[in-house]
Amino acid sequence: MFLTANALSIRYGIDDRIAKFFVDRDPPKDNLYWKDKQLYLRPKPGYIFLPLIVDLFYRSGISLEVLLSEAFVHTLEKIGHYAAEEEGGLIDKPAAVRSCRLAVAEQVKNRELLDEVTNYLNGRSSYISTLATAFPALHRGDLFLFSLCVLNINGDKHREMVIIWFALISTLLLMDDAEDVSEDKETGEENAFIQSGLSTEGFEKIKVLVAGNIERLSKINKSMAETLHKSFANAIDKPGFKEYLNN
C-alpha cells in the first residue's frame, strides 16, 4: 500500500512539510531496515512511526529544521539498521546498544542523556525505566531512543520526549500485536497481549494503557490521536481476536 503525503496529513494531522519529506524520501542504501524495500514508508508501525514521531516532536517545540535535517534523519536510519541486525540475529542486544551509541556519539548534545538511554537499554538504573510500560514487547523498538540524544534539549524536555515516544510506539505496536496473536503464540515471538496473560484482566490493563496514551497524544495532535484510537479499536474488534482471552 502506497502512503501519500495528503493521506498522512488528513488522516493523522501531520504537518504537510513532514508528510512530504518522508513520502518523497528514498530508502537508504545498504541499510538492512529497508532491505529490498522500494518505498521509504509502509503502512506498518516500524515505518509509519517516523513521520508521526517527528510531527509530535515538532508540535512539542523541537525545530522542524533540526528534525528534518540529514543529520537527525540519517541517525534514525542508522539506528534502524542496527535494530534490523539485532532482530535478524546478526548481533545481540548489547552489540546493538554499543553500535547505536557509537552511531550518535559525534552528534550528542548532552552526554548525561546518552548515558541514561544506554543504562536503560542495558537494564541498569535509569529514570527512563520508570516511564516504560509493563509489557516488554512494547519496547522492542527502544533503540531509537538514542536519536533523542542528538537533539539539543535539557533533562526535563528529554523526559517529555521519552513519554511521547512510549505513548506513540506502544499504541502502534499493540495494533501490530493484535493482528499477530495467533502467529506469535505458535512462534514464541514477543507479543504484549500474550504477555498480559491473554486474560480479561490483562486486556483491561492494555486498554487503560492505550486510553492514557491517546489522552496524552491528543494534547499534541488531536487528529493523530483520534485515528490511532479508531485503529486500535478496529484491531481488537476483528473476528477471532477475543477468542484468545481466557474469560
At 1 the pLDDT is 60
**Rounded CA gap, 122 and 143, in Å?**
11
At 246 the pLDDT is 55
At 181 the pLDDT is 85
* Lookup result for grid cell 510531527: 55
Q: Which grid cell is 46?
A: 516500524
CB proximity list for 40: less than 8 A, separation 6 or greater:
22, 23, 25, 26, 27, 34, 47
* 200-211 pLDDT per residue, tens: 888 899 999 999
* 143 contacts 96 by C-beta, under 8 angstroms: yes
Q: How many CB atoms lie within 10 A of CB 156?
A: 8
**Rounded CA gap, 226 and 214, in Å?**
8
What is the H or E stretch that residue 247 is in?
A: none
**Rounded CA gap, 62 and 54, in Å?**
9
Regarding pTM above 0.85, the answer is: yes
What pLDDT tens digit does each residue of the chain (247 aa) get? 678 999 999 999 999 999 999 999 999 999 999 999 999 998 888 899 999 999 999 999 999 999 999 999 999 999 999 999 999 999 999 999 999 999 999 899 888 899 999 999 999 999 999 999 999 999 999 999 999 999 988 778 889 999 999 999 999 999 999 888 888 888 888 999 999 988 888 889 999 999 999 999 999 999 999 999 999 998 888 766 666 655 4
**Rounded CA gap, 191 and 158, in Å?**
28
At 245 the pLDDT is 59
> How many structural domains are present in the chain?
1
Work out the widest C-alpha separation in the chain, in whole angstroms: 52
* 29-38 pLDDT per residue, tens: 999 999 999 9
| Residue ranges making up the domain that contains 167 | 5-244
